[in-house]
Structure 1
Amino acid sequence: MRSKLATCFVASIAFCGIAAADEVAQSKSEVVAKLPFSVGNIAFTPDNQLIFSHHPFYSPDVRVGKLTSETTFEPFPNAEWNTPREGTDHYLDNVLGLRSDEDGVVWIIDMGFRTGITPKLVGWNTRTDSLERIYYMPKPATRDGSQPQDIVIDRKHGKFYIADEDIGPGGDGSQAAIIVIDMKTGIARRVLEGDASTVPEDVAITVDGKDLTVPGSDGKPAIIKVGCDGITMDVNSEWVYYAPLSGRSVYRIRAADLADDSIAAGDLTKKVERYADKPNNGGLSIDYQGNLYLTAVETKEVGVITTDKKYHVIATDPEMVWPDGITSSPDGYMYVSASQVSAAAMFHDGVAQNKTPYLIYRFKPLAPGYISR
């Protein structure tokens, strides 16, 4: 076991790296943005531009924005791409997940079901301010009910891995999966659909003592169950970590296996490992030392699973309602959005509890992370 001081970082890092189970201290949560609309996921470019999705749960006019001050934003990449129109699909329809790579390309997942277009992955090059490439995710890579909403960029194996939680129109989480896109060919395929590691467990999402429900097929309240949601990968592109939002387990699979399209479905599921315990969570991120960070949607907290596979609370705030997207920044902090999804009217007898401003926080992680995870 490492000594307590074995892996310290520069003075800007609040505390040391790997720690024993009883040595993880909470980090101070700082509000860095107060915005007029709900923020879903967030991404940073190498030159520290903060790009974010407006949460599609609230049907925003501007799907993706770039932070321009603590309280303002502009459409990203521009107003045209945020405006649905006939005769083309070169616009952003319904966005939650996005991530930047080290070359300054922001990869945006367009789920497509708001105006009924084919789901796609849009890459926008922030250095040339131009479209990099579009990858499409037609059926059977997606299905009725698909909600592809978080992404890993795997340059080593030439793949994108996208978590599909299967709670889009007609979905109930039972066919959640991971979508694998080949960077060269553009071919998208669906793997681990309905696997025990991707589908929701039979656990309620409970916020402030209230189970979140929606009308079931019989008209009675039914517990929301959300499939594969957060997904990330370690610095060596060895392990992909992922988890259903509704569930107590984080899973992992070797990136080389996930990338291998010659492995049969039945054999691929055998390569999945249960990694650690967790609460119901949204986003996932990771640092250079392999510590996993997750947004604990029920408890206004960010948790960390250290490399001894133990769970700890690392950041919290009373106003961190439904912490959602989480990512590293070039400035050494982790950033997290509070989307207030659980405060929406549909969960409170038609009376909305969500309110402005919508917050983005930052905190010091146990070790620095990197933007493409």
Structure 2
Amino acid sequence: MKPMLPIEEYFGKLELVHSFYGAMPTGVSVSETGRIFICFPKWGDDVRFTVAEIVEGRLQPYPNLESNLNNPSDITMTFISVQSVIADGRGTLWVLDTAAPNFSEPIKGGAKLVAVDLKTNAITKVYTFAEDVVLPTTYLNDVRFDFRVGKSGYAYITDSSSNGPGAIIVVNLENGNAFRRLNGEYSTSPDPYFLPKVEGEILMNRNTDGSTSPFRMASDGIAISPDGKNIFFCPLTSRHLYSISTETLRDRTIPDSNLRYHVQYWGEKGASDGLITDAKGNVYAGDYENDSIRKILPNGMMETIAHDPRILWPDTFSIAPDQYLYVIVNQLHRQARFHYGKDLRQKPYSLLRIKIDELPAPTF
């Protein structure tokens, strides 16, 4: 009888919340009342609606189907390709529309940040961006909010461009004024020495014609401290974690050339897509190379709270009032673009959760 050989240990009690048998999801957000919202960017799948709510176990277009039917004659009030949805804890769902299906150049005037009232399910505010903010290379990825500064608060958005400068876009929610910070800096750029390895294979662009190129994406994950004073962020193709004071980001008297000196380096945390913070200031980050979820404490110490073969590319996180950490798992690395045109994803994609016994970081 052959002896049983030791195998890798997996841990972390994950629960399945929802299975997706259609388009691939990227974003999740749980509201203060427990409503769950999902988004589906248009990356080649048959996306019938780019924003949805899970209602009694089924996906329903949100806020309605009409808003999800892109209308070229009214691109500010209809969604084109949504990458992120964020419930702000005070009755609003924010929708971040890249306006860049299949990572194309953003449709002019279509990239936007949209506020939807969760009581009326109606769009109440739309913020669009000037051409010096959303560049031809821009891919709006994720957003965090703080309503304790200014008259109406601020939003902080990552530009995760694959062929242009990464940045953090700062938006004054009172007047819509927006500007780029850390534009093309090392901390918002792909790590040129990083070689991602997922499921034992180097992750790179592998085209149908047989050509290959490195996989490179800029600043992606973003999280805000519970007091709103610091932003944590990371490029998608990097293992590094950075932070910067939000006051510094908003202070345009500090030249862009000097802003890099205000960035704090937190060390390696694994290669992450999404980030989130809880009410105690802990940062949660995925590790897509190792099927894991990390927790970085305010003192910089790090622990792994889940390591499970089902965590095939942890994308976006959300912390709910039930003190669970929700995570979208979507097999992003198995897409056809990385495998010479062969789609290796296996449905269903999943929304998982793990009990962390912590509340979401407040925004107001």
Please report the TM-score for the alignment, with normalisation by the length of structure 2: 0.89
Gaps of 5+ in 1: 1-24
Question: Which residue number in structure 1 is paired with residue 80 of structure 2?
Answer: 93
Residue 128 of structure 1: how far off its partner (Å): 2.0
Question: Which residue number in structure 1 is paired with residue 4 of structure 2?
Answer: none
Question: Which residue number in structure 1 is paired with residue 167 of structure 2?
Answer: 177
Question: Which residue number in structure 1 is paired with residue 5 of structure 2?
Answer: none
Structure 1 residue 159 and structure 2 residue 154: aligned?
A: yes
Question: Which residue number in structure 2 is paired with residue 146 of structure 1?
Answer: 138
Question: Which residue number in structure 2 is paired with residue 45 of structure 1?
Answer: 31
Residue 371 of structure 1: how far off its partner (Å): 7.1
Does the residue aligned with 1:96 lie in a helix, a strand or coil?
Answer: strand
Question: Which residue number in structure 1 is paired with residue 68 of structure 2?
Answer: 82
Question: Which residue number in structure 2 is paired with residue 33 of structure 1?
Answer: 18
**Displacement over 3 Å in runs of 4+:** 370-373
Counting only pairs closer than 5 Å after superposition, residues 185-224 of structure 1 correspond to structure 2 as 185-202=175-192, 203-214=194-205, 220-224=211-215
Residue 57 of structure 1: how far off its partner (Å): 2.7
Identity %: 25
Greater alpha carbon shift after TM alignment, 349-358 vs 276-285 = 349-358
Counting only pairs closer than 5 Å after superposition, residues 98-117 of structure 1 correspond to structure 2 as 98-114=85-101, 116-117=107-108
Q: Which amino acid aligns with 1:262?
A: T
CA 1:112–1:38: 2 relative to 1, 3 Å:
same
Mapped to 2, the partners of 1:275 and 1:189 lie a distance apart of: 25
Question: Which residue number in structure 1 is paired with residue 321 of structure 2?
Answer: 330
Q: Which amino acid aligns with 1:104?
A: G
Tell me, yes or no, if the aligned pair for 1:100 and 1:372 is still in contact at 8 Å: no
Residue 318 of structure 1: how far off its partner (Å): 1.7
Tell me, yes or no, if the aligned pair for 1:329 and 1:370 is still in contact at 8 Å: no
Mapped to 1, the partners of 2:339 and 2:179 lie a distance apart of: 38
Mapped to 2, the partners of 1:116 and 1:108 lie a distance apart of: 16
CA 1:272–1:366: 2 relative to 1, 3 Å:
farther
Mapped to 2, the partners of 1:295 and 1:328 lie a distance apart of: 14
Structure 1 residue 339 and structure 2 residue 330: aligned?
A: yes
How many pairs does the alignment contain? Answer: 342
Tell me, yes or no, if the aligned pair for 1:41 and 1:337 is still in contact at 8 Å: yes
Does the residue aligned with 1:197 lie in a helix, a strand or coil?
Answer: helix
Q: Which of 220, 237, 242 is the matching residue for 2:233? A: 242
CA root-mean-square deviation:
2.1
Tell me, yes or no, if the aligned pair for 1:233 and 1:241 is still in contact at 8 Å: yes
Greater alpha carbon shift after TM alignment, 118-127 vs 58-67 = 58-67
Residue 54 of structure 1: how far off its partner (Å): 1.4
Tell me, yes or no, if the aligned pair for 1:330 and 1:370 is still in contact at 8 Å: no
Tell me, yes or no, if the aligned pair for 2:227 and 2:362 is still in contact at 8 Å: no
Q: Which amino acid aligns with 2:33?
A: D
Mapped to 2, the partners of 1:66 and 1:42 lie a distance apart of: 10
Q: Which of 64, 70, 75 is the matching residue for 2:51? A: 64
Question: Which residue number in structure 1 is paired with residue 277 of structure 2?
Answer: 286
Please report the TM-score for the alignment, with normalisation by the length of structure 1: 0.87
Residue 124 of structure 1: how far off its partner (Å): 0.5
Residue 113 of structure 1: how far off its partner (Å): 2.2
Mapped to 2, the partners of 1:287 and 1:26 lie a distance apart of: 21
Greater alpha carbon shift after TM alignment, 261-270 vs 77-86 = 261-270
